[in-house]
Structure 1
Amino acid sequence: MTLDRVWRLVRDPAPGRLAYSIRIAAACTTVVLVGEIWQVPDLAVPALVTLILWQQDRVTNALAGAALNILIVLLLALVYGLVRLTLDHPMGIAIIVALLSFGFFFLGSASKLKPVSYMLGLIVVYGLIAIDQVPVGEVITRALLYTDLFLAVPGAVMIVLGLLICPSPKTLLTRRIAARLRMTIDLLHYRDQPTRERAADMLRAGVKSMLSNVKMAGLEKVWSRHDLAALTQAAYASVGTLSLAEAAVRRQEAAPDDLIATLSDMAAIFESGDYPAHITRPPVPADSAALAAMASLLPGFTTPPETAAPQEKGKSGFFFPDAFTNPDHVRFAVKGTAAVMTAYFLFKILDWQGIHTMIITCFIVALPTMGEMIAKLTLRIVGALIGGAIGIAAIIGVMPHLNDITGFLVLIFVVSLFAAWIKTGDARISYAGFQIGLAFFLTDLKGYGPTTDMATARDRIVGILLGNFLTYAMFTSFWPASAYDHVGEKLRAIAKALAAQRESTTVQERLIRAASVQAALSEGERTLEYAAAEPVHMRADAQQLATFRAALDDAARLSDDLLLAHDDMDIDRRMIRLDHVAA
């Protein structure tokens, strides 16, 4: 990925990105304010939990906050038992830390608890290793209180503040549909490479987030079933419309003004929170196959099918199907545990309390394949250095001039907004935003109120970098898992999704299958990016990677062409070639 591409992703004004970032920053600031009032120690942990778990809509946010508060009861019982068991037994603490680390890393790899599993592991393990820092007589009470507050404060803020400032899931859904229509217009108008890249990124997102909005909107019991069914159809149709726009650009078909005007009117209605019930098909030249297919799609844009549309079968159960048969899950847990225990023993041997952040970091940065580790290592280091530099600069240039908590909270809000802006961007850069927040919170949130302790900033940044290094060393030295091994699997999933799209018999079914193809393409492209980042000895040569890249590009074009449904356009030959490459 080039620097120009990275910069475009950093400054990409994606719909809703700024508002989402502001809400995250407001939530982190509120958590810090509550923590200052209640004298919560190590406010970096609850602030970090908020940065990670804050959701876009009010229903999901409230559910996540409620789940956090329910987990508190279980964690309190767990921490109480563990503290009583390990009190004044250093070896017992080490054994329990190892067992807990293995358990939480395994759950993070083999179950649907990811990434919450890592946060729970971080909090429980941190609570255990911090017991030496308080008087023995108070240790159990303080351990329970701190564990409670680490989750109770973010959970309460997510419920109360989230209901006040977050949009409803239906509003978020209509805005996302409008965003795809606006992107369709931009693509048909500008046709340049940056616009095509933005359109491709939006296409690869598929409909998963929009279907989640539909589900959450249903829980509100405010909207009728017909409205939700119409919006579900519109979600699929918006992806199909954008896909056909890409096909039109590739075929160099010029969009007539009537089509652009219709798309613009529809987008305006969705942006207002409503949806168009009656859409007239705009006139389009018959020789423009992609645009004609798009125009034919518009009259039924919000018309749900009379019979239930086929849905992709989701995986049921808490654990993944291969949770207890795939050795990679156990290996992942072992490597994660080794990183945590190495950090723990180094922390104890050096007797350097300030670098406890390396243990926290080990839980946060673990990734399954070497390609992901290498691809995100730069994001980790850059994010940590930026966040640490901001924290140190704040200690030197800002903290001495703060006279009350207002200025301190403004500082927290501004830096949280910057971190949240990066975090809410494309997945290729979002990790850096998380690391910025991690480094800043751990550097500047010590004790109560503004800190001027440079030693703390230095120690915690050193801890973050050590944690990154230890995790990277463990995950790339023992059982290094290659992303390249999964490329064929992803290509076969794409081929299967394309076959299902081709066999569709109705427009609605074709749109659903096309959205599934986009989701599969997203996973395939990301896996290929990770494979390309790996050392040469772990992957194929550049020519084979180029073959995979060409297969993914042609699969994307195949999905667009299958929406035209007027001839096969040599589809058989292209699908056979994709199957051959996947094998």
Structure 2
Amino acid sequence: MAQPAADKLRLGLADIRALLAPLPGRAAATTRIAAACTLTVLVTSIYGTPEAAISAYMIFFVNRADRTSSIVMSVAALVLISMIIGLVIWLADFSVDDPLRRVACMAVVSAAVLFLASASKLRPVGAIVAMIIGFGLDELGLVPSGEIATRALLYAWLMVAIPLGVNVVVNLVLGPAPRRLATDRLAHCLRLAARSLQAPDGDPEALHEALRDGVQPIAGWLKLAKIEGSVDAQDLLALRQASSSTMAILLAADVARQQSGAQLPAAVAVPIATTLDDMARMLDAGGYPVEIGLSVPGLAGLPPVQAAVAAELVGAINRYAEPGDPAPQEQADKAHGGFLDADAFSNPVHVRYALKTTGAAMLCYLLYQQLNWPGIHTCFITCYLVSLGTAAETVEKLTLRLAGCLVGAAIGTAAMVYVVPSLTSVGGLMLLVFAGSWISAWVAQGSPRIAYSGFQVAFAFYLCVIQGSGPGFDLTIARDRVIGVVLGNLVVYLVFTRIWPVSIASRIEAALAALVTQWRQLTEARQSDARRSHAAAAMARHGEITQDLILANYEPASVGPGRDWIEDRRRRLAALDAIAGPMFLLAERFPGDPELARRLHTLQATDAVAPTAHAANGSHDAQADKVRHALLALVDRRLADSPVEAPAATSSTSIHAQT
């Protein structure tokens, strides 16, 4: 099977086209973001607020797939920014008139906030908060009087409040409801399963992507739908069960697609696929199917593996939205941790991350201050936006930021030269902003492999085109801002790969162990809902490990693991992927089978799986024993086709920098 485009390190033209291809909901999300950015520029032009480019750029950070998350994020960000402005005013009382004291405040506050960004639930916005505080204190040091400083802070608050308010309005009008997203995603997954059953070689990558992250977001959307009141208790339980059943259908379809001898004959596959398409249409209409009553003749005469696949499909379809025991889901909903991570004060990585990012930012700050070149102040902002926990993530983000920055700067410069001179009103500028925002948002709404570059295309484009309340023509501003972005990226790269570098290898190792544990819990679970929940979590974690293995290639040789280490972990992941479907079918039919636990143990402890005589797990009829033996033999064959070695102990030779 060809490697998915999202799993490759080097992307060719065909891969990039695949990553930019239309996806369900992508056009609507892109249009919503572009509309919010354009309205933000319009409002800032009317009121003449400064830094309109940053105001428009903020829309990319506070928009989510559904309206509820977007609105909650915007309101929470507005409250947080208001608190930050208050903190800046308090700090300014004793630091604004003394440059040395002001720089010291910037460094101390930055380090403290970045520590929380690494070791607490403040992680998603911590770096931006630190950047705003530092930049705010710097700007206050440039004003000659307290009255002007107060006005500057009010403008800074408006600079943030305007895009957040616009985002709330746009999402109230155009944002999709969480329930709508959930039913659309379920319908999409069912159609993929139906297409795979009828044409196994048609589009294997679509089913592959659906298994990794097709079902996982649905639980969150349903929780949001419950919060906003768009789903009642009965529908909530039914849709949760529908999500669980969809996971079982996808896994069974995947076994039929890629396992030898498991493909269903047309007489069985066609009625099942037709039923799945009918169910998808019901979900598209906003409802969900009940009392399906699918009956497929000829199942008794199928070979054991095909019989297991067909039985799983028919069972999941007939009980598609019939709620089972809600206890596992309710327990999962109640599970949550505190504000701080468990290792917040014991793991030195958190403190080192704060010191490295603050050091890089302050170096850039002192550099452009000493050079008296304020136009490159974007290097200071860049340090906070690019730095991440591991060297691999930082380098990948740096690469995407540089590529996106250059593309956005090229588009923005071309617009300034060929389009802006012909604009005669704010309306023309709005059309230009909408076009640039739409292109950037389309990239940003795609695969994680290229999404961040879309953010940077937008950022560079806005910095070039939006220079005030009307069309801007100064190419020097665009040049200086782009130079600042490049400089900030280079400083972060040097700091994060030379000072206390953190390899992503330890995270991969821990995630692989957790993945095996997840599958072991699945095989031991006695309730169907729990097994399917573990399966969805395991497939999502599989996708995360795949991305981390790609990121490991970004790490310099002095920091990251060797090529052999990466290939060994890739083989382990491939082995788990190969046996995922058969393991799930076995666990569904024979929960707690000790042979499954033994095979999972081999992926951590021994070199290979030796086929053994399989003792029956309990009392089964002859047909059930045949199915069990056939599925175990299939697992053995898949493991034999994907041999793995015993994992070597982590050492300084295989992982150069763990902390």
Per the normalisation by structure 2, the TM-score is 0.84
| CA gap 1:77/1:376 in 2 versus in 1, 3 angstroms | closer
Residue matched to 1:228: 236
Structure 2 distance, partners of 1:541, 1:353, is: 42
2:218 equivalent to 1:210: yes
Residue matched to 1:305: 324
CA contact (8 A) 1:380 1:432 kept: yes
Identify which range, 79-88 or 455-464, moves more after superposition. 79-88
Residue matched to 2:163: 154
Residue matched to 2:569: 548
* 3-state SS in 1 of match to 2:289: coil
Residue matched to 1:448: 469
The percentage of aligned residue pairs carrying the same residue is: 35
Correspondent of 1:509 among 523, 530, 534 = 530
Structure 2 distance, partners of 1:279, 1:178, is: 16
Residue matched to 1:290: 309
* 3-state SS in 2 of match to 1:303: coil
CA contact (8 A) 1:83 1:140 kept: no
Residue matched to 2:65: 56
1:46-125 → structure 2 map (5 Å cutoff): 46-125=55-134
Identify which range, 226-235 or 137-146, moves more after superposition. 137-146
Aligned residue identity for 1:229: L
1:380-399 → structure 2 map (5 Å cutoff): 380-399=401-420
CA contact (8 A) 1:245 1:291 kept: no
| CA gap 1:54/1:106 in 2 versus in 1, 3 angstroms | same
Report which structure shows greater RCO (CA 8 Å, sep ≥6).
Answer: 1
Structure 1 distance, partners of 2:130, 2:565, is: 40
2:346 equivalent to 1:325: yes
| CA gap 1:431/1:190 in 2 versus in 1, 3 angstroms | farther
CA contact (8 A) 2:186 2:215 kept: no
Residue matched to 2:292: 279
* 3-state SS in 1 of match to 2:328: coil
Residue matched to 2:629: none
Deviation of 1:133 after TM superposition, in Å, equals 4.5
Structure 2 distance, partners of 1:222, 1:143, is: 42
Residue matched to 1:437: 458
Residue matched to 2:249: 241
Q: Deviations over 1:9-34 (max 9, x none)?
A: 43232211111111111111111111
| CA gap 1:442/1:132 in 2 versus in 1, 3 angstroms | farther
- Which is helix-richer, 1 or 2? 1
The higher radius of gyration belongs to 2
Q: Deviations over 1:171-218 (max 9, x none)?
A: 11111111211222333344448x333332332226442111111111
Structure 2 distance, partners of 1:497, 1:575, is: 10
CA contact (8 A) 1:178 1:270 kept: yes
Residue matched to 1:259: 272
* 3-state SS in 2 of match to 1:393: helix
Residue matched to 1:527: 548
Aligned residue identity for 2:149: I
Aligned residue identity for 1:393: A
Correspondent of 1:368 among 389, 406, 414 = 389
Deviation of 1:422 after TM superposition, in Å, equals 1.0
Report how many aligned residue pairs link the two structures: 582
Structure 1 distance, partners of 2:464, 2:109, is: 26
| CA gap 1:443/1:192 in 2 versus in 1, 3 angstroms | farther
CA contact (8 A) 2:237 2:326 kept: no
Aligned residue identity for 1:214: L
CA contact (8 A) 1:75 1:147 kept: no
Residue matched to 2:601: 576
Structure 1 distance, partners of 2:391, 2:81, is: 34
* 3-state SS in 2 of match to 1:533: coil
CA contact (8 A) 1:9 1:425 kept: no
CA contact (8 A) 1:80 1:140 kept: no
Q: Deviations over 1:295-318 (max 9, x none)?
A: 221111111114423554744111
Deviation of 1:540 after TM superposition, in Å, equals 4.1
Deviation of 1:501 after TM superposition, in Å, equals 0.4
Structure 2 distance, partners of 1:520, 1:410, is: 41
* 3-state SS in 2 of match to 1:464: helix
Structure 1 distance, partners of 2:141, 2:418, is: 34
Deviation of 1:394 after TM superposition, in Å, equals 1.0
CA contact (8 A) 2:32 2:170 kept: no
Correspondent of 1:477 among 478, 490, 498 = 498
Aligned residue identity for 1:484: A
Q: Deviations over 1:399-421 (max 9, x none)?
A: 10111111111111111111111
Structure 1 distance, partners of 2:530, 2:141, is: 60
Per the normalisation by structure 1, the TM-score is 0.95
Identify which range, 386-395 or 120-129, moves more after superposition. 120-129
CA contact (8 A) 1:231 1:302 kept: yes
| CA gap 1:486/1:220 in 2 versus in 1, 3 angstroms | closer
| CA gap 1:187/1:126 in 2 versus in 1, 3 angstroms | farther
Q: Name structure 1 gaps, 5 residues minimum.
A: none
| CA gap 1:190/1:348 in 2 versus in 1, 3 angstroms | farther
Residue matched to 2:483: 462
Identify which range, 71-80 or 317-326, moves more after superposition. 71-80
Structure 2 distance, partners of 1:314, 1:578, is: 29
Structure 1 distance, partners of 2:397, 2:230, is: 42
Q: Name structure 2 gaps, 5 residues minimum.
A: 1-7, 606-645, 650-659
Structure 2 distance, partners of 1:550, 1:93, is: 53
Residue matched to 1:17: 26
* 3-state SS in 1 of match to 2:585: coil
Deviation of 1:506 after TM superposition, in Å, equals 2.2
CA contact (8 A) 2:96 2:141 kept: no
Cα RMSD of the aligned pairs, angstroms, is 2.1
CA contact (8 A) 1:191 1:249 kept: yes
2:567 equivalent to 1:559: no
Deviation of 1:236 after TM superposition, in Å, equals 2.4
CA contact (8 A) 2:523 2:531 kept: yes
Structure 2 distance, partners of 1:394, 1:245, is: 49
